[in-house]
Amino acid sequence: MNYKEKYEEWCENPIFDEETKLELQSIKNNEKEIEDRFYKDLSFGTAGLRGIIGAGTNRMNNYTVTKATQGLANYIVKKGSKEKGVVISYDSRHMSKEFSIKTALTLNANGIKTYLFEELRPVPELSFAVRKLGCTAGIMITASHNPPKYNGYKVYWEDGAQIVSPVDKEIIEEVNAVKEFSLIKTISEEEAKKQGLFNLVGREIDDAYMEELKKQIIHAEVIKEMSNEIKIVYTPLHGTGAVPVKRILNELGFKNVYIVPEQEEPDGDFPTVEYPNPEDKKAFKLALELAKKVDADVVLATDPDADRLGVYAKDSRTGEYMAFTGNMSAMLLAEYILSQKQKQNAIPKNGALIKSIVSTNMANAISKEYNLKLFEVLTGFKYIGEKIKQFEKTKENEYVFGFEESYGCLIGTHARDKDGIVAVMMLCEAAAFYKNNGITLWDQMINIYEKYGYYKEGIYTITLEGVDGAEKIKQIMNNFRKNPPTQFENYKVLVVKDYQSGISKNIETGIEEKIELPTSNVLYYELENDFWCCVRPSGTEPKIKFYMGVKATSSNEAEKELKELEKAIKLMVQ
């Protein structure tokens, strides 16, 4: 069927409810909107579902969500693991609770036991709960940091990490095999509860999660000593972070924790921000106003599902609050944890640090300093989770720290995804430790740059929505492959890594080597002077992303080189 025929079917078929039909009738004269809603089925990719909320095959709604769930249920039944059950959580977005209940009941209708959180909970706690409850899978209803019109559906497997190969591809096949909405099984909540299939969870998981976080504390005595001195401003940006962050900081003894009042309550409209993303400096407006009022030492923000963390800290020389990138806050944490563990002789001999391929090369220098083996993985924290599972199985390495540039890291192995809650906790400990030593977190970041070099990273993003946009993104990637650059203006290309073909080629010698990572639509360019550039389409948004990094001997020089490299990249895609 073409998009018009699909639209008409949704308007007429009795399987679709009246509310859906009324919504679709309201756009009957808007051809472009009808096409966008029905030109394709919302794709269930390796990251699950993500899309605009609304009626249509290319939208997040009860029908597309339960269709995906039916495919997942079929897979679980085939694997013979339905008795283990599935744990489900959701964030503050519109329709998140409704989607979570529909998801649970679809699984229940297939004889699969579910554990639904009684209220919204963050991604890291869902990841933790999968293994705590011994479930076969977990589902998180969230669109992370996307604008309010979006929602999504992320699938986790029994190890607590998001699905990876071959499980992801096998689930996608099952989801795609559900061709008709009539194939979706249903059951009432009352009947599901009666059969012991529909279960609510909450406090017991919260308590266990909190205890795991506390195990990561290095200097409890410093927190106690500085509990009245350190001032913390935090905002959950209307998401899931407020309750767990307030609880962990209170239980550790931090006395001066200020939550941004306008942003404390969950709200799917995210009314005080354009974009609920801690990567966006504008999202910190209210938090910084509060920080100046109370003279805070550190300012923290998590995204709606609380897996990402943004950071500001005071520069003691100027008194200004300075923004940290995701790379910076990760390296600040890595240096703090490793330097303190080294003093305690607590770094394992086979310790490992994991980073994504688009993250800072400072991680290489820090790994070398503390004698850790560095592992690089594809973009997506699920690959870090996969490595942790591998380490536990082979015992060849022991996980110490993992991060990606997009404001996410994991301290400990209680979860297998980014954990903004544990990152908040550790940054507050670090702030107390450094304040006790007479410096701020920003001062310490400068010390780290002086020690390892001024690594600076940036990202240039082009948003290309709809059918034409998807084709344009494909065209850009094809052009880079057909006409591989040997220069980015003044920056010479040394090595080209094509993760789709799995080949790394040295431009000067022509020697090719195999890349020992899964195939992915990514191109990476190693440039002179420890500079680099990487291009990939986003897996969750209609964007193509250009990542880049430089190294210099001063902050000004690094900033200048980064701007020049970004300018060179822009010229190549005009």
Q: Which residues are catalytic?
A: 144
Q: Which residues of 19-33 are buried (b: 16+ CB within 10 A; e: fewer)?
A: ebbebbeebeeeeeb
Q: How far apart are CA 354 and CA 382, in angstroms?
A: 12
322 Cβ partners below 8 Å, 6+ apart? 312, 313, 314, 315, 442
Residue identified by tokens 């080597």 is 513
Q: How far apart are CA 126 and CA 49, in angstroms?
A: 17
Residue-wise DSSP of 280-317: SGGGGHHHHHHHHHHT-SEEEEE-TTS--EEEEEE-TT
Q: Are strands 398-404 and 373-377 parallel, antiparallel or unpaired?
A: unpaired
- Helix or strand or coil: residue 263? helix
Write phi, then psi, for 412 (nearest 5 degrees).
90, 175
Write phi, then psi, for 322 (nearest 5 degrees).
-110, 140
Of all helices (H) and strands (E), which one includes residue 109? helix 96-109
Q: How far apart are CA 416 and CA 156, in angstroms?
A: 9
Q: How far apart are CA 153 and CA 510, in angstroms?
A: 43
Q: How far apart are CA 131 and CA 284, in angstroms?
A: 34
Instruction: State yes or no: cis peptide before 271, omega within 30 of 0.
Output: no
Report the sign of the C-alpha dihedral through residues 140, 277, 412, 162, in that order.
positive
- List the structure tokens of 395: 């015992």
Residue 480 CA neighbour count, 13 Å, CB half: 28
Question: Quick one: which of 275, 274, 269, 285 has its CA closest to 235?
Answer: 285
170 Cβ partners below 8 Å, 6+ apart? 75
Radius of gyration over every alpha carbon of the chain, rounded to an integer in angstroms: 24
458 Cβ partners below 8 Å, 6+ apart? 547, 548, 549, 562, 565, 566
- List the structure tokens of 230: 């350190």
